[in-house]
Amino acid sequence: MDTQTRTAPVAAEVARLFRPRHRTTRVAVEQELFALDLFNGSSAAPDRVRRASAGRPYEPWLAFEPGGQVELSLPPAASAEQAGTHLVAATCALARDLQGDGVVLSSLPVRAADPATPRHLRTPRYDAMEHHLDTIGPAGRRMMRSTASTQPCLDWWPGQAGREQWRLLLLAAPFIAAATARSTGPTGRLTTWLAVDPGRTAFDDRLLHGDDPVAAYAQFAAGATRFVDGDPAHLSTLFPPVRPRGRYLEVRFPDAQPTRRVGRLLQALAALLYDDARRRTALASLAGEQRRLADHWAAAAAGTGDVERGLALLDWHPDVLREAS
């Protein structure tokens, strides 16, 4: 089967994800946190969190990952500073409410692997996902149950500027991941993700092949195994480092960051994408790195990535790392 025949069924669906409309500069964030029983450290069931948060202002933005990880998906803010401040306020309020029920929040990117950790979310789709990932190895269960990330969401611009944003984030990602890593080596979050299912994670340069990003993404999507035949939400089961979302780009690669420091990351990424001169300078500095992206991702996971380059892209001083330790 040729490439065009294979990608045709998803091409139109993918094209809808690549339709940025406005040159706006909003910032949003999705913060994943472990909800843990205060007394034994086990994963708290989502129902406990739901009861404690019922009727609270942040409740509409509360969701859950399969292992019970709490996800706060906040609405877009006018600036990175406002988004960071809102996240701190919502997280503090949630932590206070959970404390009364004997549940604490953790912003670590990985929790200790425990074979007994349940998958709290039981749906046919998650059942199918887990079954598929089990055929590849144990990393899928670790990813679903025991990892957490901070996912900045940045407005995506139309035209050449938007193409630059997309390309820059994909090229810069392994360096920024290295600079913001809070877990590396065999038990690190990124190591787990690299082993989950390479056919649907794209920790290499496949999303930058050719001149048409829609065609490259359609080929990526067509090559990923469908968990359920005819699943209309197939594209939402793809986990690339940067996910196209039509009006915005979802940055999926950072380890979960301490909540009070998320604002700093949001400000750095917003400046990198929204400042025309800085974006183009950064792109020029990454010329020639596309063919080495897989190696850069492997180094970031191992803890040997180019941290200095990541810091330069974020315009951070090395002292930032000492402050975050």
Sequential DSSP letters for 141-173: HHHHHHB-BEEEEEE--SHHHHHHHHHHHHHHH
Question: What distance in Å separates the CA atoms of residue 303 and residue 179, rounded to the nearest whole number?
Answer: 10
Helix and strand element counts for the chain (H, E): 14, 7
pLDDT value at 215 more than 80? yes
Confidence of residue 224 (pLDDT cuts 50, 70, 90): very high
Looking at residue 77, which CATH number applies to its domain?
Answer: 3.30.590.20
- Mean pLDDT for the stretch of residues 163-173: 98
Confidence of residue 322 (pLDDT cuts 50, 70, 90): low
pLDDT value at 3 more than 80? no
Confidence of residue 1 (pLDDT cuts 50, 70, 90): very low
For position 321, what pLDDT does the model report?
67
What is the pTM assigned to this prediction? Answer: 0.94
Residues 91-118: tens digit of each pLDDT: 999 999 999 999 999 999 999 766 567 8
For position 320, what pLDDT does the model report?
73
pLDDT value at 252 more than 80? yes
SS3 state of residue 71:
strand
For position 199, what pLDDT does the model report?
95
In the numeric block, which tokens belong to residue 119? 């998958």
**297 lies in some domain:** yes
Confidence of residue 310 (pLDDT cuts 50, 70, 90): very high
For position 2, what pLDDT does the model report?
47
For position 319, what pLDDT does the model report?
76
* Mean pLDDT estimate for the chain: 94
Residues 174, 298 contacting (CB under 8 angstroms): no
Residues 121, 301 contacting (CB under 8 angstroms): no
**319 lies in some domain:** no
**317 lies in some domain:** no
- Mean pLDDT for the stretch of residues 49-73: 96
Confidence of residue 230 (pLDDT cuts 50, 70, 90): confident
**313 lies in some domain:** no
Confidence of residue 7 (pLDDT cuts 50, 70, 90): confident
Largest separation between any pair of C-alpha atoms in the chain = 59
Report the percentage of the chain scoring pLDDT > 90.
85
Question: What distance in Å separates the CA atoms of residue 311 and residue 314, rounded to the nearest whole number?
Answer: 5
For position 19, what pLDDT does the model report?
93
For position 323, what pLDDT does the model report?
62
SS3 state of residue 216:
helix
Burial class (CB in 10 A: 0-12, 13-18, 19+), 24: middle
Tell me the one-letter amino acid at 135. Answer: T
Residues 36, 106 contacting (CB under 8 angstroms): yes
Q: Using alpha carbons, select from 170, 157, 158 the residue that is nearest to residue 294.
A: 170
For position 256, what pLDDT does the model report?
98
pLDDT value at 76 more than 70? yes
Question: What distance in Å separates the CA atoms of residue 18 and residue 214, rounded to the nearest whole number?
Answer: 7
pLDDT value at 138 more than 50? yes
Q: How many domains, in total, are found in the chain?
A: 1
**316 lies in some domain:** no
Residue 287 belongs to what domain range? 6-303
SS3 state of residue 24:
coil
